[in-house]
Amino acid sequence: MNVLVLVDHADGAVRPTALELLTLARDLTSASGGVVVHAVWVGESPQTELLAAHGAATLHQVHVDGADAQLTASVVDALQTVITAVEPSLLLVASTFEGKEVAARLAVRAGAGVVTGAASVAVEDGRWVARKSVLAGSWDTACAATGRLAVVALAPNVVPAAPLAVPADTTLVEHTVAASAAARAVTVVSRTKRPTGDRPALAEAEVVVVGGRGVDGDFSGVEELADVLGAAVGATRVATDEGWIGHEAQVGQTGVTISPRLYIGLGVSGAVHHRGGMDAAGTVVAVNNDPDAPIFEFADYGIVGDLGEVVPALVAELRARRP
Ligand SMILES: Cc1cc2nc3c(=O)[nH]c(=O)nc-3n(C[C@H](O)[C@H](O)[C@H](O)COP(=O)(O)OP(=O)(O)OC[C@H]3O[C@@H](n4cnc5c(N)ncnc54)[C@H](O)[C@@H]3O)c2cc1C
């Protein structure tokens, strides 16, 4: 069986989610036997050594002729060419905004089954089964694609990326693809990177500190705690609607979906619309002055207290424990 991994990269650097996907694909190989991991790099200058270190047996570099290689339509053109050549039974992409768009477009074109926001994927009874929780964490589902190709968008951070002790002996295969009409229909005039400072991207961060109405307009404590933990800063819709922080920080059903290893909610009630965007988080910590706040029903650790006292104490303790 061949497994394809789409390598997401930005500014020439592999994104951490791609290494997580390769690690998972590699482990699927040992669990099911006979699986070959193919990585797909769309564009120029692939980071071959890094991908070999994470288990890519074959690296397909695809040049897209006639369109911007970063467009999702171009990525789909590239993937379709590699799929025709390799005939994989599983395609793994990261469950980011771009990854989900690629998964959906590709699945429509290739007649494949698609699961987004998956927490795991494994072979069960000879077919790929992806698992995910839905409806704000109230149901765990298992989804199997009935067609020949399963497209699974895996949530960031559900598999820790780990290099191999001995890198794979990667074979590089180059392809050139003529861009489809969909890709050629778009001309990219300019790109402006949103400044995120030194903090990690919210959708992919391993640790996220979220501020809610309880911060009462002051995100300095949220940011301080985030920085001491190397975390991203998120917010509830109340906080973004109030203009305390930009809408790009909103976590939830109508915001960004996150799956960090650690989520810390400060003055967040845990409403269902917020929970819908963070219920794949590993460990949930909540600080709230209301012992009956709904977030305590699903938090792993809860602190009943005022943010003004608890957050500075947390920051001081974490700083004291830093080497
Ligand atoms: C269609 C729809 C879509 C939505 N989409 C989203 C979404 O994507 N994301 C989202 O977040 N929301 C979304 N919402 C809104 C959502 O329903 C909630 O209203 C919102 O999440 C609540 O935000 P909050 O927890 O900050 O505020 P609240 O629910 O008001 O909770 C604030 C909490 O802070 C605590 N608190 C107050 N002061 C302190 C203090 N000094 N110290 C400690 N704790 C304190 C309070 O006890 C309370 O529990 C959506 C709503 C709708 C209708």
The three-point CA angle 220-224-229 to 5° equals 150
Q: Output the CA 237–ligand 1 centroid distance in Å.
A: 7
Domain at 273, CATH number: 3.40.50.1220
Q: Do residues 153 and 237 share a domain?
A: no
Count of C-beta atoms within a 10 Å radius of residue 207: 20
Q: Do residues 49 and 171 share a domain?
A: yes
Q: Do residues 214 and 316 share a domain?
A: yes
Rg for the chain, CA atoms, rounded? 21
Q: Which two tokens stand for residue 311?
A: 């957050």
**What is the rounded (10 degree) CA torsion for 183, 187, 190, 191?**
-10
Q: Output the CA 316–ligand 1 centroid distance in Å.
A: 27
Q: Do residues 143 and 170 share a domain?
A: yes
pLDDT tens per residue across span 42-80: 999 999 999 999 999 999 999 999 999 999 999 999 999
Torsion 23-164-323-321 (CA) sign = positive
Which regions of the chain does DSSP assign to beta strands (E)?
2-6, 9-10, 13-14, 36-42, 58-65, 90-94, 113-118, 120-124, 127-134, 139-144, 150-154, 171-178, 207-211, 232-235, 262-266, 283-288, 301-304
pLDDT tens per residue across span 241-300: 999 999 999 999 999 999 999 999 999 999 999 999 999 999 999 999 999 999 999 999
* Atom nearest to 265 CA in ligand 1: 25
Q: Output the CA 302–ligand 1 centroid distance in Å.
A: 17
Q: Do residues 113 and 84 share a domain?
A: yes
| The residue to which tokens 């990854």 are assigned | 99
Q: Would residue 153 count as lying in a domain?
A: yes
CB 218 near ligand 1, within 6 Å = no
pLDDT of residue 38: 97
Q: Would residue 285 count as lying in a domain?
A: yes
Mean pLDDT of 238-243: 96
Domain with 84 in it: 2-184
Q: Output the CA 268–ligand 1 centroid distance in Å.
A: 5
In single-letter form, the type of residue at position 112 comes to A
Q: Would residue 305 count as lying in a domain?
A: yes
Beta bridge partners of 123: 128
Q: Would residue 212 count as lying in a domain?
A: yes
CA distance 43 to 75: 9
CB 158 near ligand 1, within 6 Å = no
* Substitution candidate for ligand 1 out of 216, 269, 292 with most atoms within 8 A of CB: 269
Its pTM stands at 0.84
User: Cα 235 to chain center, whole Å?
Assistant: 18
Quick check: 136 pLDDT over 80? no
CB 306 near ligand 1, within 6 Å = yes
Q: Would residue 174 count as lying in a domain?
A: yes
The structural domain count of the chain equals 2
Q: Would residue 165 count as lying in a domain?
A: yes
Going by alpha carbons, the residue nearest to atom 7 of ligand 1 is 252
CA distance 164 to 180: 37
Q: Would residue 291 count as lying in a domain?
A: yes
Domain at 59, CATH number: 3.40.50.620
Residues in the chain: 323
Q: Do residues 8 and 151 share a domain?
A: yes
